[in-house]
Amino acid sequence: MKGEINMSRIVIALGGNALQANPKDTTAEAQLITAGQTSETIVDLIEEGHEVIIAHGNGPQVGQLVATYEAAASINANSPVMPFPECGAMSQGYIGYHLQQSIRAEMRKRGITKEVATVITQVIVDENDPGFKKPTKPVGSFFTQEQANKLMTEKGYTMKEDSNRGWRRVVASPLPIDIVEKSIIKTLVDAGHIVITVGGGGIPVIDTGNGNLKGVPAVIDKDFASCKIAELINADLLVVLTAVEQVAINFGKPNQKNLSKITAEEAKTYMKEGQFAPGSMLPKIKAALIFVEAKEGRKAIITSLEKAKDAIREVAGTIITK
């Protein structure tokens, strides 16, 4: 019911703006400040009694790490280029550190004594996933068209123009099949701890047989990974945070209409009409549908960080139900 608070197990998928508010200031100091601001909203939900599990993206951060190693290797033959899966793991670690520190500080400020931990998370993907044949996931910094052409020629990168903001490298974005550390995550959540997991969508790995795993160069969409962990730990609610308060149809047009509440069937109709941009809103809608259709009574919310608390009370955001 609108305005009421029901205690829920909530997976929150943080968007890029919740980790790096200013794309032009990519310093660790700036990201830590943003993590502190984001933590206020997260702790609002913890304070209300919800069980909160945090997932997040890592597109800019993992791209920066890759670029840093490449730059070092170009001037020093003894500096190896670090593989993409390792860069993904590093980004999980340092983003998790920022969030852990910020959430802990905000909880202590409010007299909340819960513990918070990051689980470096591996996510199993299919090596034959069609995503490997058609890279679509933007990572790293923005480049001019001239710089992009040079990277395509010299390094063999796939580069694409990103929403009139410049050119970015794109990598494969396979769908998640399973989460290796799911039992550990569930144990921590069941014990009442705050867990940060599937950072950057998780480190994509393939099962090579006999229980052996191998990292692959890709970025799993954090919305699909968030949906997967929400399913596996039996969450009640999936909250996907983005830059806008509500999902809209006819976006950016004179007849734009914001959506407060839609059913899965209505969402599918809008998808068929091409209402949602493939690189931004579409994966969020798809992840929300997978989650709500998997079990009765589940809800998904798409909204901004600032409106998350109100959206859980169903007085803001876009609520998606079966």
**pLDDT tens digits, one per residue of 148-200:** 998 899 888 889 998 788 898 888 999 999 999 999 999 999 999 999 999 99
More confident residue, 6 or 58: 58
Structural domain contains residue 72: yes
pLDDT at 169: 84
Place of tokens 């069980």: 51
The number of domains in the chain is 1
Whole-angstrom distance, CA of residue 215 vs CA of residue 81: 15
pLDDT at 5: 59
Say if strands 194-196 and 51-56 run parallel, antiparallel, or are unpaired: parallel
Candidate list 182, 228, 284, 309, residue with the active-site label: 284
Under the banding of pLDDT at 50, 70 and 90, the label for residue 119 is: very high
Whole-angstrom distance, CA of residue 197 vs CA of residue 48: 21
Residue 289 has pLDDT above 70, yes or no: yes
Structural domain contains residue 2: no
Mean pLDDT of the chain: 92
3-state secondary structure of 295: coil
Candidate list 15, 16, 88, 200, residue with the active-site label: 16
137 as an active site residue: the answer is yes
Structural domain contains residue 162: yes
Structural domain contains residue 1: no
Residues with Cβ within 8 Å of residue 34, at least 6 apart in sequence: 18, 19, 20, 21
- What is the average pLDDT across 51-69? 89
Candidate list 17, 114, 160, 166, residue with the active-site label: 17
- What is the average pLDDT across 217-240? 96
The top-scoring range by mean pLDDT among 29-33, 66-70, 73-77 is 29-33
Residue 137 has pLDDT above 80, yes or no: no
More confident residue, 176 or 211: 176
Structural domain contains residue 3: no
Whole-angstrom distance, CA of residue 165 vs CA of residue 145: 11
Q: Which of 89-98, 128-137, 231-240 has the lowest mean pLDDT?
A: 128-137
Structural domain contains residue 118: yes
199 as an active site residue: the answer is no
Candidate list 131, 137, 140, 199, residue with the active-site label: 137
**pLDDT tens digits, one per residue of 268-280:** 999 999 999 887 8
128 as an active site residue: the answer is no
pLDDT at 67: 83
Structural domain contains residue 121: yes
Element (H, E) at 115: none
How far is the CA of 165 from the CAs of 143, 144, 158, 173, 192, in angstroms? Answer: 9, 9, 17, 21, 42
Structural domain contains residue 4: no
> Is this prediction's pTM over 0.95?
no
Q: Give me the sign of the Cα torsion angle 122, 128, 131, 137.
A: positive
pLDDT at 243: 87
pLDDT at 279: 74
Residue 97 has pLDDT above 90, yes or no: yes
CATH number, domain of 224, equals 3.40.1160.10
Q: Where do the H-state alpha helices sit in the chain?
A: 28-47, 59-75, 84-109, 145-155, 182-190, 222-232, 264-272, 281-294, 308-312
Whole-angstrom distance, CA of residue 243 vs CA of residue 165: 15
Candidate list 58, 199, 222, 307, residue with the active-site label: 222
Rg (CA), the chain: 19
Whole-angstrom distance, CA of residue 322 vs CA of residue 262: 9
pLDDT at 310: 95
Containing structural domain, residue 160:
9-321
Residues with Cβ within 8 Å of residue 205, at least 6 apart in sequence: 85, 122, 123, 124, 125, 180, 213, 214, 215, 216
309 as an active site residue: the answer is no
17 as an active site residue: the answer is yes
